[in-house]
Amino acid sequence: METVAQLAPLEDACTVVIVRDGEAGLETLMLERPATSRSFGGVWVFPGGKVDPEDRLDAAGTAVDDLAAARAAGLRELAEETGQALGVEELVWLSQWTPRQAIPRRFRTWFMLAPASPEPIVLNPDEHERFTWLAPSRVLELHAKGDMKLVPPTWVTLHNLDGAASVEQAISDAKARAVFAYNTHLLVPSGGNQPDGVLWAGDEAYPDQAGGGTVPGARHRLTTKSLPWVFERTEH
């Protein structure tokens, strides 16, 4: 495992998970990054991007806290990337993701859930090539077949949304659920060099557990070494 001293400074970002009621139930908006992109080339993602300096000031020019800045960035990026115009009151905080491995740039990313607005989706061609509305279960099915590329935060978010029958239920569930901070470590097998996946607090292999460790055999991980990916979380 990498030490804290080796980690790149954190930058802030926000992702907005847009949902709507489709004919067969809940659908999420998925955007495909250009294959030639330097970041997440060919990956299907949710709208979002990094927090800019102007996102940290309110209309009066007063500094706002990190959560408010993330919400502002999420709304701005959503409008720029999809043409969807939403209000801050429509954003429900889902989770926060922070990579704990040595990579060139690290983003602490707030994930927000919001209902789709009536406006049509208008893509920024410099950001994304295609979009689609799909049930979370369908995206995971296509990923398992190798037909859609995902990254772990997107996969887990879709996994958590799977089962919600409607926008109303998804938002109600999100409001009732405690926000979880996914401080992500690599899952490296004993004696191995290549990671098998990622893990989070609550897994027996997670380092620096508060309180001196966790239950032997406990799981909170996503194994990504082959398709389909496997999510495990032990409830206690």
- Whole-model pTM: value is 0.94
Residues β-bridged to residue 15: 48, 111
Residue-level pLDDT at 209: 61
Residue-level pLDDT at 98: 97
Residue % of the chain over a pLDDT of 90? 83
H-type helices in 55-115, by residue range? 66-82
Spatial CA neighbour of 114 closest among 46, 18, 26, 49: 18
Burial of 78 (0-12, 13-18, 19+ CB in 10 A): buried
Q: Please state, in angstroms and rounded to a whole number, the distance separating the CA atoms of residues 173 and 158.
A: 14
Residue % of the chain over a pLDDT of 70? 95
